Structure 1
Amino acid sequence: MVATLMRPAVTAVGPLIDQMSADTGIPLALLGSLSTIVLITWAVVSPFGHGLGRRLGLGGAVLAAMGLLALGAIVRSLPGSTLWLWIGTGMIGIALAIGNVLLPAVIKRDFPLRVPMMMGVYSALLGGAGAVASGLAVPIAELTGADAGAGWRLSLLLTGAMLAPFALLAWWRVIRHERAARGAAAPAASRLGIWRDPVAWQVAIYMGVQSTTFYVLVTWIATMSLDSGRDATLAGIDVMIYQVFSLVGSLTNALLMRGRGARITPGALPLLGIVGIVGLMIWPDAIGLWVVPLGLFSGLSLGVSLTLIADRARDHSTSSALSGMSQSVGYAIAAVGPALFGVLHVAAGGWVVPLIIVLVAMILQAVFGFFAARERFVLDAR
């Protein structure tokens, strides 16, 4: 329930951005920065999620974050001043940053023997709920007829917060007896020490380069498809296929990240993405084919990154600290990726040069995946 709240508030904005610009008069380029604001917020706030989890308990902190998310979705949809749009987006970004950090630690604590499977289910729910929200955003907005302003506001409210009351109630019921049921708390992990740990940096850079690739692809696949000569309908189908195979990739996480696979998969996985990128460079007209390996790569990369956050920590408190650090670094890197890709595309007048940057990111992911997959733990004496 909580996972289904954690992407729709972001992914529903893109399909509605033209309506939002026409109604408010805000330029498209400025509205496009809404997603960048969320990524930057994640980078800034993520390191503080661990401390909040220590003060309120993991469950209590997640509950507070989801409450803030629901409130942010309401504020963002308020009529009147466009300032509410930016304030609500900031609140949503803060809430999601905390949820991003703490949910992997919750899984580490509650499912210690099933981490790869539950990380795969969790990442699949993130992607699935985000994809559904993208698809429903425009139809919901059209329910209001001619009132464009009411349409996009209603759509953002429903996609971002419709499930919030049910998720908050379910989560509250689960965590009421959290402290008594869990017994003694895990030793507190040092928030500063995690930033000096080499294993933590290996996981963080792995998270950063895979996040960069995902946000570049999800932002630019449709444009690349249109440039290859496909119409808008087929370009939309290409994005849909990419998202569907991302879900498939997420669900294969449990299969590939168990036993010896946990040592091999993080470093070998980028080969799948490299096949897709090289295919786009050599035969761009077959983008409908190349989105299949790229989707599998993206979905599995997220699941592997989250699994590494859990597996490289000895307890859920350390996992929370590692999650905050690695996601802060990861989303700081990811926030630059789509804009840099676009600048390179315009400067080069084609797609080969920016795709080389993605290729480099995948090679870095393979290198750091090899190191991060070794059976070492953060904050261990060496």
Structure 2
Amino acid sequence: MASADDDSRNSAPEPEPAFAPASETGTRTVPERPAAPRMPPPGTGAAAAAVPRWLLGLVAAGMVIAALNLRPAISGLGPLLEEVRHGLHMNGTVAGLLTSVPPLCFAVFGGLAPRLARRRGPAAVVLAGMVAITLGLVLRPLAGGTVTFLAATALALAGIAVSNVLMPVIVKHWFPDRVGSMTGLYSMALALGTAGAAAVTVPMTDALGGSWRVGLGAWAALAAVAVVPWAVISRSRQARTPGPDADRDQGPGSDHDSGSASGAVRTASRPPEGAEPALRIAKSPTAWALGVFFGLQASAAYITMGWLPQIFRDAGVSASAAGVMLAVTMGMGVPLSFVLPKLAARMRHQGPLVLALGVCGLAGYAGLWVAPAAGAWVWALVLGVSNCAFPLALTMIGMRTRSNAGVVKLSAFAQSTGYLISIPGPLLVGSLHDLSGGWHLPLLLMAALMLAQMATGLLAGRDRVIEEGR
């Protein structure tokens, strides 16, 4: 992961915010009034001696296990979507709704995570998230109809949403001197969980008797394992000790997670002396470009996760092979999520990267149109490269602001706006497939969305900061 000062315009670094994107590459800083003395967070200085080494090890292990559980509910469904549709008598539109539920839940429940963490502490909320994932994955195979299946899926996704948002807070609190390495470890585990679920679900289903219900429900066992370390962590004194800002009134519009255990910096609603005036994110063309770019890349990713295995299967590829191909697509994020942010941080304009990733996406869609089975492995690879627009989007969020408060506000705006924009895409793909009886019309839609992603990415990649009102 790129460090925060790779593209900085000022020489003096500023502490990273506790609640911000995992990749805060190139964040620009502004002078800040010295804060009141604070107790060092766990893992540093004198406070490190008060934190048992086994507890820090448990937190690291808990983060990895939690990250492994943040995508199987989504990527494990794609390879079995045909069986689920037949079992629950879903049409293509309803199946498309299934692939649109994740971004909707991320937009709705992810926004609640900071407030919940302020009241209960991040570790307790992550524990609740792991419990919700476990219950959702247990209840989903028991569903007798579409509505129940969607409700159980939404429960699991709610747990994923709050846990996903709070992982950077956990990293900042427990490992403030190793943010980069621990974020990299967490990101790698998340990508492995995504790819592993796509590759393993069908063979595991076959080994367990062939029922899609058993195959999907088996992932609840991994989620249950993640509950154990977080139950211990949330009961520890270090996790329950209020942070230095916990007793301050954050106000209803606070963007920072200044929860009881986060050790967060000063809330964005109280800018320090010398900071720039309050940001009006909604009036910034750059913020809107980032929000639309984030939404279009998320739409492409959820279309890929939800529908790519079905495209391959309809072309004659076996269910097991289609799952492995999706795993290859998702697995490309493991190495590229480390490379892209560093490369983007060294560029004044990230447009060339946006175009390169977009061209890979268009090439993949063209291949699926012309020879979906013959070149399946190639299309899986190039679409995997295209899907890495996600870490690039997070990196640009960090580079389009000067201040910590700006990063948090821009991140909240771009991601909430983006996830809402991404909802119709997978749903439309399913509807167009039902309407046309094939994949050519959906592929045309996917190509049009990719062209729009490239255009907005060029605008978002310009060397501007939102504090300048642009």
Instruction: Give the TM-score taking structure 2 as reference length.
Output: 0.64
**Paired position in structure 2 for 1:329:** 417
**Paired position in structure 2 for 1:347:** 435
Q: Are 1:71 and 2:132 matched, yes or no?
A: yes
In 2, the alpha carbon distance for the partners of 1:113 and 1:162 equals: 25
Map of 1:222-233 to 2, 5 A cutoff? 222-233=309-320
8 Å CA contact 1:48, 1:324 repeated in 2: no
In 2, the alpha carbon distance for the partners of 1:322 and 1:164 equals: 32
Query: What is the deviation of 1:133?
Result: 3.0
**Paired position in structure 1 for 2:328:** 241
Q: CA RMSD in A?
A: 4.1
Map of 1:285-296 to 2, 5 A cutoff? 285-296=374-385
How many residues in Structure 1 have an aligned counterpart in Structure 2? 374
Map of 1:208-357 to 2, 5 A cutoff? 208-260=295-347, 263=350, 264-284=352-372, 285-298=374-387, 300-357=388-445
The superposition leaves residues 195-235 of structure 1 with CA deviations (integer Å, 9 ceiling, x where unpaired) of: 44332222111111111111212222223223434444443
In 2, the alpha carbon distance for the partners of 1:172 and 1:312 equals: 38
In 2, the alpha carbon distance for the partners of 1:26 and 1:157 equals: 20
8 Å CA contact 1:216, 1:338 repeated in 2: yes
Unaligned ranges ≥5, structure 1:
none
Match of 2:450 among 345, 362, 381: 362
Q: Secondary structure at the match of 1:162?
A: helix
Q: Secondary structure at the match of 1:374?
A: coil
Map of 1:115-154 to 2, 5 A cutoff? 122-137=186-201, 151=214
1:324 maps to a residue whose letter is A
Instruction: Give the TM-score taking structure 1 as reference length.
Output: 0.77
Q: Are 1:198 and 2:285 matched, yes or no?
A: yes
1:39 maps to a residue whose letter is P
Q: Secondary structure at the match of 2:345?
A: coil
Q: Secondary structure at the match of 1:77?
A: helix
Query: What is the deviation of 1:122?
Result: 4.6
Give the greater-gyration-radius structure (CA). Answer: 2
In 2, the alpha carbon distance for the partners of 1:175 and 1:37 equals: 32
8 Å CA contact 1:222, 1:235 repeated in 2: yes
- Among all aligned residue pairs of Structure 1 and Structure 2, give the percentage whose two residues are the same amino acid: 25
Query: What is the deviation of 1:128?
Result: 1.4
After superposition, the Cα gap between the structure-2 partners of 1:268 and 1:168, relative to the gap in structure 1 and judged at 3 Å, is: farther
Q: Secondary structure at the match of 1:225?
A: helix
In 1, the alpha carbon distance for the partners of 2:451 and 2:125 equals: 38
After superposition, the Cα gap between the structure-2 partners of 1:346 and 1:275, relative to the gap in structure 1 and judged at 3 Å, is: same
Which is worse superposed, 104-113 or 255-264?
A: 104-113
Looking at secondary structure, tell me which structure has more helix per residue.
1
8 Å CA contact 1:189, 1:318 repeated in 2: no
Query: What is the deviation of 1:283?
Result: 4.1
After superposition, the Cα gap between the structure-2 partners of 1:169 and 1:231, relative to the gap in structure 1 and judged at 3 Å, is: same
Query: What is the deviation of 1:297?
Result: 1.5
Query: What is the deviation of 1:295?
Result: 0.8
In 2, the alpha carbon distance for the partners of 1:306 and 1:270 equals: 17
In 1, the alpha carbon distance for the partners of 2:454 and 2:85 equals: 40
In 2, the alpha carbon distance for the partners of 1:63 and 1:47 equals: 17
